[in-house]
C-alpha cells in the first residue's frame, strides 16, 4: 500500500471501523442499553461518513448518513435499540464493505442500499428530515477554521412570531446546520400559548442547538443570514479540540445556566447554599422551568461525551501508530538474520581466541535478544481479533439452521503471533461451523433431552509455556464412540482388534475423508474436512485432539505455538546431522549410560519414578554412521508434548540456539517428525524436530 494513495489508506481504515461496528452491534444484542456500545456504533459510522466525504465518495456518504442518523436518534434517547435495527445495522455494514470494494456501484449493490434505507425510513420516520438532498454537492465551499480543528457551538435560535409570513422555514435552516457537522437539536415550547389563543400562522417554537463542526463561526452564522432580522440568534463557542487536556466533566449546571443568561451568579449561590440539587431549587423558586434545566443537562452530557471521545482518540494517537504488517514481517526476518550472523561471528571468535572479540560478541548477543523481544512483541496480537469475528458467524448460521446458540468467549486478551492468527482462521471457522451444524441440537431436541433451548458454544484461549491452548466446546449431542469405531473399521482405518483409549477413538475423526454424518449439508458435516483442519494446525507446529461425552457435548483442544518466527531451541546431533528441539518441549538431558533400562529390548526406561518410552533418533531418520562411531557417550533428551513424555537418543547435545524457522518446501512436507529447518552459524542446516509427532510415535511404538 502506497502512503500516497489516500483511497487505499481509507479502505484499510474503513475495514477496521467496520469490524468495530460489527462488534458493537453484536454486543448490543446482549446489552441493548449500553451507551458506550451505542456511541461506538455511531462513531464508527460518523468517521466513515466524514472521511468518505473528504474523498468525494458521495454514494458512501449518502448511504452512511442515513444509518448514522438512526443511531444518533438512539444515542440521543429518541429511539431504542431493537433487533430490527441491529439487523439493518449489520446489513448496512455489509453494504458499506460492498461500496468500498467497488465505489462504482452496480445495479445490485445500489438496489440493496436503497432497500436498507427504505427499511430504516419505515422504522424511523424522523429520519426523512435528516436525509441529505439528492442533488449535486453544493458549489458553495464551507469555510473551515484556520486552526483548532473541531469546535462545538451553542446556538440559541428564537424566531419571531411573524417568521412564516416572510416565507422562511426554520426546518430547512436546521437541516442546513446538520450538514455542517454533528448536531443535537432541542425544540422548546415554553412560548406556546393556550389553544384558544394560538395563531395558526405564527411561530411559537424556539430551538437550542449544539453543533460540533470544523466550520468556523462565520460559516455557522451564514446559515441564518436571511433571517437575522426575523429571529433572536445567539452563537457561543463552548468547546474546542484545542482543549484536549480540559476537564471531562465540563461545567457545573449552575455555570451553564449563568452562561446562558438565565440566572445570576447570586441566585445560583443562594440555591447552592440550600444544599439541594441546584436545578430543583431554581425551579421551586420560579426562576427557571424544568425544560430549561433539561436543556442545560443535555449540553453538559453532550460536551462531556465529546471531550471523553477526544481525549481517548488523543491518547490512542500518542500511544500507537499504524504500521504496514509487511514491514513488521521484514523486521522479524531481519532479526532472524542477525541471530544467524551472530552465531557465525561467535564461532569465528571462538576459533581466534580473541578476548576483546569474544566480549563484543557477548554484548552484541544481549542487544540482539532485546531487539528480538521487541520485534516479537510487535508481532503479537490478542486472539480477540480472531474470536470477535465468530459472533456474526454464529448469529447468522444459527438462524439459518433454526437453532439458538449462545457464544461465550474466554481469554480474549491472550496474545499470539499475527501470522499464526491468519493461518488459524480457516481451521477455526470449519470447527465452529461443525459444532453448530452437527454438535448443538435443534431447540426441540434439546428440550426433549432435558436441556435448555439455547445451546452454548464456548471458545477459550490460555497460555501453556511457549504454546497457546484453544478449546472449542459445545453442550450438544456429543459424538457416538461406537459409530466412530464402526466407520473406522469399514474404511480400513482400523482392523477392529486394536485397543484404543476413548480420546484416540475420537481423534480418528481427523483421518482423511472420515465422517460420521449420515447426510452432508451445505454448512458442514462433523468430520468432513477435519483431516484438512488437522493438517493445517500441524503445519503450524501444533496439535488437535477431540474429547466428547455422548449427550453432553464435545471439546476440541488445539495447541499451537505462540510464534512462527524466531524460536529458541536445544541443538543436538546424530551422526553428521544437526537437529533443533524447541526449548519449551525439553524436560531434561541425561547421560544415557546412567539410565536404567526396564525391558530387554531397551525401549522403556525409568524416569523420575515412572516408565518412559524412548527411541534412537538416528534409527528413526535412518541416519548413516558419521562423526560418532558408536564408542562415544550418547545422550538422552527427555521431551514432552501434549501430556506425553518420550526420550530421544542423540550423539551430542550442544548449547541453545535462536533462529528463524525456514520452511522445507513441498518435497519434505510428508517427512514425519520434522517441521522446518534453521541455518547454523557455519552455514550448515539443522532440522527443526516436530516434538508433538515424535512423542506420538514414541508412545505408540512402546510395548
- List the CATH number of the domain containing 239: 3.30.70.260
pLDDT-based confidence at 626, cuts 50/70/90? very low
Domain shared by 435 and 529, yes or no: yes
Domain boundary among 510, 534, 561: 561
Q: Is 1 inside a domain boundary? A: no
Domain shared by 175 and 239, yes or no: yes
Among 122-131, 278-287, 565-574, the least confident range? 122-131
Domain boundary among 541, 561, 581: 561
What average pLDDT does range 594-608 have in this prediction?
70
Question: What pLDDT shows up at residue 520?
Answer: 47
Element (H, E) at 151: strand 151-159
Question: What pLDDT shows up at residue 137?
Answer: 39
User: Would the pLDDT of 382 be above 60?
Assistant: yes
Taking the model in full, what pTM does it have?
0.63
142, with CB counted inside 10 A (0-12, 13-18, 19+), is middle
CB 404 within 8 A of CB 454: yes
Q: Whole-angstrom Cα distance, residue 570 to residue 580? A: 5
Question: What pLDDT shows up at residue 245?
Answer: 47
Among 18-27, 279-288, 341-350, 561-570, the least confident range? 561-570
Q: Is 138 inside a domain boundary? A: no
Among 43-47, 285-289, 378-382, 535-539, the least confident range? 535-539
Domain boundary among 544, 561, 578: 561
Q: Is 499 inside a domain boundary? A: yes
Domain shared by 388 and 377, yes or no: no
22-38 exposure pattern, b = at least 16 Cβ within 10 A, e = fewer: bbbbbbbeeebeeeebb
Domain shared by 346 and 236, yes or no: no
What average pLDDT does range 39-58 have in this prediction?
81
Q: What is the average pLDDT score of the chain?
A: 80
Q: Whole-angstrom Cα distance, residue 32 to residue 38? A: 8
Tell me how long the chain is: 703
Domain shared by 47 and 190, yes or no: no
Among 14-28, 361-375, 519-533, 625-639, the least confident range? 519-533
Domain shared by 436 and 453, yes or no: yes
And the C-alpha cell for 265?
451568579
546-566 exposure pattern, b = at least 16 Cβ within 10 A, e = fewer: bbbeeeebbbbbbbbbbbbbb
DSSP string, 373-399: HHHHHHHEEETHHHHTTHHHHHHHHHH
What average pLDDT does range 285-307 have in this prediction?
85
User: Would the pLDDT of 399 be above 60?
Assistant: yes
**Grid-cell match 518441549, residue found:** 585
Q: Whole-angstrom Cα distance, residue 537 to residue 468? A: 12
Question: What pLDDT shows up at residue 556?
Answer: 92
Q: 604 or 56: which carries more pLDDT confidence? A: 604
Domain shared by 550 and 418, yes or no: yes
Domain shared by 208 and 341, yes or no: no
Q: Is 140 inside a domain boundary? A: no
What average pLDDT does range 652-658 have in this prediction?
82
236-245 exposure pattern, b = at least 16 Cβ within 10 A, e = fewer: eebbbbebee
Question: What pLDDT shows up at residue 670?
Answer: 65
User: Would the pLDDT of 26 be above 70?
Assistant: yes
Please say whether the dihedral angle defined by the alpha carbons of residues 647, 648, 653 and 658, taken in this order, is positive or negative: negative
And the C-alpha cell for 647?
526420550
Question: What pLDDT shows up at residue 1?
Answer: 46
Q: Are strands 543-549 and 455-464 parallel, antiparallel or unpaired?
A: unpaired
Domain shared by 205 and 268, yes or no: yes
Q: Is 436 inside a domain boundary? A: yes
Q: 194 or 77: which carries more pLDDT confidence? A: 194
Give the model confidence (pLDDT) of 192-248 as tens digits. Answer: 888 888 888 899 999 999 998 888 888 888 888 888 888 999 998 888 866 544 555
Domain shared by 155 and 186, yes or no: yes
Q: Whole-angstrom Cα distance, residue 423 to residue 35? A: 35
Q: Is 139 inside a domain boundary? A: no
CB 532 within 8 A of CB 507: no
479-508 exposure pattern, b = at least 16 Cβ within 10 A, e = fewer: bebeebbebbeeeebbeeeeeeeeeebbbb
Q: Is 118 inside a domain boundary? A: yes
pLDDT-based confidence at 616, cuts 50/70/90? confident
Q: 76 or 405: which carries more pLDDT confidence? A: 405
Domain shared by 407 and 551, yes or no: yes
User: Would the pLDDT of 627 be above 60?
Assistant: no
User: Would the pLDDT of 134 be above 50?
Assistant: no
Nearest CA-CA partner of 510 in 525, 524, 527: 527
Q: 506 or 313: which carries more pLDDT confidence? A: 506
75-95 exposure pattern, b = at least 16 Cβ within 10 A, e = fewer: bbeebebeeebbebbbbbbeb
And the C-alpha cell for 68?
448514522
Q: Whole-angstrom Cα distance, residue 337 to residue 256? A: 63
Question: What pLDDT shows up at residue 444?
Answer: 93
Question: What pLDDT shows up at residue 344?
Answer: 78
What average pLDDT does range 534-553 have in this prediction?
84
What average pLDDT does range 316-320 have in this prediction?
57
Q: 274 or 412: which carries more pLDDT confidence? A: 412
Question: What pLDDT shows up at residue 296?
Answer: 86
And the C-alpha cell for 434?
461443525
Question: What pLDDT shows up at residue 113?
Answer: 87
**Grid-cell match 449431542, residue found:** 477
CATH number at residue 630: 2.30.30.40
Q: Whole-angstrom Cα distance, residue 487 to residue 494? A: 9
Question: What pLDDT shows up at residue 473?
Answer: 93
- Domain of residue 635: give its range: 566-701
Angle subtended by helix axes 325-352 and 355-379, to nearest 10 = 160
Domain shared by 392 and 530, yes or no: yes
What average pLDDT does range 553-562 have in this prediction?
88
What average pLDDT does range 177-186 have in this prediction?
87
Q: Is 141 inside a domain boundary? A: no
Percentage above 90 pLDDT, the chain:
10
Max avg pLDDT among 216-225, 506-515, 601-610: 216-225
And the C-alpha cell for 353?
581466541
Across 503-619, the runs of DSSP E, i.e. the strands, are: 543-549, 553-561, 566-574, 577-582, 586-591, 604-607, 610-616
Count of structural domains, the chain? 5
Q: 460 or 498: which carries more pLDDT confidence? A: 460
Amino acid at each position: 500500500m502506497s502512503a500516497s494513495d489516500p483511497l487505499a489508506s481509507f479502505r484499510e481504515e474503513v475495514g477496521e471501523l467496520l469490524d468495530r461496528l460489527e462488534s458493537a452491534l453484536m454486543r448490543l444484542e446482549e446489552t441493548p442499553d449500553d451507551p458506550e456500545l451505542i456511541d461506538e456504533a455511531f462513531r464508527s459510522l460518523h468517521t466513515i461518513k466524514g472521511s468518505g466525504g473528504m474523498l468525494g465518495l458521495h454514494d458512501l456518504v449518502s448511504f452512511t448518513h442515513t444509518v448514522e442518523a438512526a443511531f444518533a436518534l438512539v444515542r440521543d434517547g429518541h429511539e431504542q435499540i431493537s433487533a430490527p435495527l441491529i439487523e439493518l445495522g449489520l446489513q448496512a455494514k455489509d453494504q458499506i464493505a460492498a461500496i468500498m470494494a467497488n465505489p462504482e456501484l452496480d445495479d445490485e449493490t445500489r438496489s440493496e442500499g436503497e432497500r436498507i434505507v427504505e427499511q430504516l425510513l419505515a422504522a424511523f420516520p424522523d429520519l426523512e428530515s435528516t436525509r441529505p438532498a439528492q442533488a449535486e454537492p453544493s458549489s458553495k465551499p464551507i469555510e473551515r477554521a484556520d486552526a483548532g480543528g473541531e469546535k462545538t457551538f451553542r446556538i440559541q435560535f428564537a424566531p419571531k412570531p411573524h417568521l412564516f409570513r416572510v416565507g422562511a422555514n426554520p426546518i430547512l435552516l436546521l437541516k442546513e446546520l446538520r450538514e455542517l457537522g454533528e448536531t443535537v437539536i432541542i425544540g422548546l415550547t415554553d412560548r406556546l400559548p393556550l389553544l384558544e389563543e394560538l395563531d395558526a400562522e405564527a411561530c411559537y417554537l424556539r430551538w437550542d442547538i449544539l453543533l460540533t463542526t470544523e466550520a468556523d463561526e462565520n460559516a455557522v452564522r451564514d446559515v441564518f443570514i436571511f433571517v437575522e432580522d426575523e429571529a433572536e440568534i445567539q452563537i457561543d463557542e463552548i468547546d474546542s479540540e484545542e482543549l484536549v487536556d480540559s476537564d471531562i466533566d465540563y461545567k457545573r449546571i449552575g455555570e451553564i445556566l449563568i452562561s446562558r443568561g438565565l440566572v445570576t451568579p447570586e441566585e445560583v449561590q443562594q440555591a447552592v447554599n440550600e444544599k439541594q440539587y441546584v436545578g430543583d431549587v431554581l425551579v421551586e423558586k420560579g426562576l427557571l422551568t424544568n425544560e430549561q434545566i433539561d436543556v442545560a443537562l443535555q449540553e453538559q452530557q453532550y460536551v462531556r461525551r465529546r471531550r471523553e471521545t477526544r481525549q481517548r482518540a488523543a491518547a490512542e494517537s500518542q500511544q500507537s501508530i499504524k504500521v504496514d504488517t509487511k514491514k513488521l514481517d521484514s523486521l522479524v526476518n531481519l532479526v532472524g538474520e542477525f541471530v544467524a550472523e551472530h552465531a557465525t561471528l561467535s564461532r569465528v571468535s571462538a576459533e581466534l581466541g580473541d578476548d576483546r572479540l569474544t566480549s563484543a560478541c557477548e554484548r552484541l548477543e544481549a542487544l540482539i535478544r532485546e531487539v528480538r523481544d521487541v520485534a516479537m512483541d510487535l508481532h503479537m496480537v490478542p486472539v480477540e481479533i480472531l474470536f470477535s469475528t465468530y459472533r456474526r458467524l454464529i448469529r447468522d448460521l444459527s438462524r439459518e439452521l433454526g437453532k439458538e446458540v449462545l457464544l461465550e468467549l474466554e481469554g480474549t486478551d491472550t496474545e499470539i503471533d499475527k501470522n499464526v492468527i491468519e493461518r488459524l482462521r480457516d481451521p477455526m471457522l470449519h470447527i465452529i461451523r461443525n459444532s453448530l451444524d452437527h454438535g448443538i441440537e435443534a431447540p426441540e431436541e434439546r428440550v426433549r433431552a432435558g436441556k435448555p433451548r439455547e445451546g452454548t458454544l464456548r471458545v477459550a484461549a490460555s497460555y501453556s509455556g511457549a504454546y497457546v491452548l484453544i478449546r472449542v466446546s459445545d453442550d450438544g449431542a456429543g459424538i457416538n464412540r461406537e459409530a466412530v469405531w464402526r466407520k473406522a473399521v469399514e474404511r480400513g482405518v482400523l482392523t477392529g482388534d486394536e485397543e484404543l483409549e476413548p480420546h484416540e477413538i475420537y481423534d480418528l475423526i481427523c483421518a482423511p475423508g472420515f465422517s460420521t454424518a449420515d447426510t452432508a449439508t451445505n454448512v458442514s458435516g462433523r468430520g468432513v474436512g477435519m483431516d484438512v483442519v488437522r493438517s493445517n494446525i500441524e503445519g503450524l507446529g501444533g496439535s488437535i485432539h477431540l474429547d466428547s461425552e455422548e449427550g453432553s457435548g464435545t471439546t476440541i483442544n488445539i495447541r499451537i505455538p505462540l510464534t512462527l518466527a524466531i524460536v529458541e531451541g536445544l541443538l543436538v546431533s546424530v551422526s553428521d546431522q544437526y537437529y533443533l528441539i524447541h526449548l519449551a518441549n525439553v524436560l531434561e538431558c541425561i547421560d544415557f549410560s546412567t539410565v536404567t533400562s526396564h525391558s530387554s529390548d531397551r525401549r522403556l526406561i525409568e524416569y523420575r519414578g515412572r516408565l518412559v518410552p524412548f527411541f534412537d533418533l538416528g534409527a528413526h531418520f535412518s541416519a548413516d554412521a558419521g562423526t560418532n562411531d558408536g564408542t562415544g557417550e550418547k545422550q538422552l533428551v527427555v521431551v514432552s508434548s501434549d501430556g506425553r513424555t518420550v526420550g530421544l537418543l542423540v550423539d551430542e547435545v550442544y548449547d541453545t540456539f535462536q533462529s528463524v524457522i525456514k520452511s522445507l518446501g513441498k518435497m519434505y512436507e510428508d517427512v514425519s517428525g520434522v517441521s522446518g529447518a534453521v541455518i547454523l552459524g557455519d552455514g550448515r542446516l539443522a532440522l527443526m524436530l516436530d516434538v508433538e509427532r515424535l512423542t506420538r510415535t514414541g508412545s505408540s511404538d512402546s510395548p
